[in-house]
Amino acid sequence: MNQRVCRLCQAPLTESFADLGMSPLSNAFLTADQLSAMERFYPLHAWVCGSCFLVQLEEFERPQQIFGDYAYFSSYSDTWLAHCQAYAHMAIERFGLGRSSQVVEIASNDGYLLQYFHSAGIAVLGVEPAANVAEVARAKGIPTNVCFLGADTARALASRGVMADLLVANNVFAHVPNLNDFTQGLRILLAPQGVLTLEFPHLLRLMQENQFDTIYHEHFSYFSLRVARAVLASQGLAVFDVEELPTHGGSLRVYACRAEAAAKRMTATPDVLVAREGAAGLDQLTAYSRFAEQVRATKRALLRFLLEAHEQGKRVVGYGAPAKGNTLLNYCGIRSDLLDYTVDRSPHKQGKFLPGTHIPIYPPERILETRPDYVLILPWNLQQEVLAQMRAVREWGGRFVVPIPRVEVLA
């Protein structure tokens, strides 16, 4: 067997962070005629590099297989759309973007973000590897290139005059197995005075709030600011500012630029946050080794709740079919004997079955028809949105449950 090595610094990987057993790809939803066929399961085991402290999964499936035909469409979350609209307004004002500017987004999905720049009269370009999702963006008038970003594709785009005054990479940094090639591509596309912003879940919040279900095969890496800054610096990019965001259970928005343009933009915020990460132990292996027991405790608590509800004759269903929910359900071994079904707003998921667990996915109206006793909110990071959309559940005495950071029946 080949030795596991860190994808950033190439040091041997020997320190376990969280072993979640065997799991299928989290967005490999099944049709009814696929239920009897063999499913591929892969180890879902996160490791932490003892040298640079990058938390990471091994690469078992190529990104082309995971993202070539994608089931996730960003525009089905009202909360996320509001977040993106606010970002666009902020960026236009802060960086003085106008009709002579160019905004490029990497992993632009269905045009969920670029639509706000486009409507402001700013030239936009999406770079999206999933052809089915890119087609939806194009139908909105968002020009979109179907490709994976790396140094070669970035050079090809730059040769056609693509040079980003604002380069956006939301929730994609974790999705690339070749970090150095991807980051080199970002630098190539960035105009000399351009700004790069990246958003990604913050490893500190993942650890402090037990968000182990955000570990899945699409996410090859999990970042602290300390590590993300090192990745960017290795390719000549400097972090000059950072914001902490509530999205995805706690994310960072990192602002970066070419290193030679950083001096006049630099703030103290990145150093302050890196110091806070150090105080929490993210520069020592001890903090990482404690995480595994938190994960096991959550599994026991969720199974205890579901078993007790079942024994009391209560009916439990799910809300949402997010990737994080598939990690949780497969790790805990929960199937339709304990969770009758789940629902999702996306028509691209309705009528299909969750990978591994084979739990059926219905439209949200199914909950109103069947009136269950409990609704388990699988996208717990969107619980306020779900509670507002499904407030009728309380009319028959139904209650909502969140699994993370701990199993809790909401009042």
Q: How many domains does the chain have?
A: 2
- C-beta atoms surrounding 396 within 10 Å: 10
Residues whose CB is less than 8 angstroms from the CB of residue 88 and which lie 6 or more positions away in sequence, other chains included: 113, 116, 117, 120
Q: Is 56 a domain residue?
A: no
Task: Residue 318: give its domain's CATH number.
Answer: 3.40.50.720
Compute the CA torsion angle 200, 201, 203, 205 (nearest 10 deg).
Answer: 140
Which of 264, 288, 312 is a domain's end point? 288
Instruction: Give 203-253 pLDDT, tens digit per residue.
Output: 999 999 999 999 999 899 999 999 999 999 999 999 999 999 998 889 999
No. of helices (H) and no. of strands (E), the chain: 14, 17
The domain in which residue 183 lies consists of 74-288
Cis peptide before 405 (omega within 30 of 0): yes
Beta bridge mates, 411: none
**Residue 8 resides in a domain:** no
Report the pLDDT value the prediction gives residue 79, as an integer from 0 to 100: 84
Question: What does the angle CA 114 – CA 324 – CA 116 come to, to the nearest 5 degrees?
Answer: 10
pLDDT (tens digit, 9 = 90+) per residue, 315-359?
Answer: 999 999 999 999 999 999 999 999 999 999 999 899 999 999 999
Residue 26 lies in a domain: no
Which tens digit of pLDDT belongs to each residue from 23-76? Answer: 999 989 999 999 999 999 999 999 999 999 999 999 876 655 555 555 556 656
Q: Are residues 134 and 169 in the same domain?
A: yes
Supply the CATH number for residue 274's domain. Answer: 3.40.50.150
Between β-strands 15-23 and 42-48, what pairing exists: parallel, antiparallel or unpaired?
antiparallel
Query: Among residues 228, 258, 288, which one ends one of the domains?
Result: 288
Both 307 and 251 in one domain: the answer is no
Same domain, 326 and 188: no
- Is 298 part of a structural domain of the chain? no
**pLDDT digit string, tens, across residues 93-102:** 999 999 999 9
Residue where one domain finishes, among candidates 236, 262, 288: 288
Contact 342, 354 (CB under 8 A): yes
pTM: 0.89
Q: Which of 20-24, 75-79, 108-112 has the highest mean pLDDT?
A: 20-24
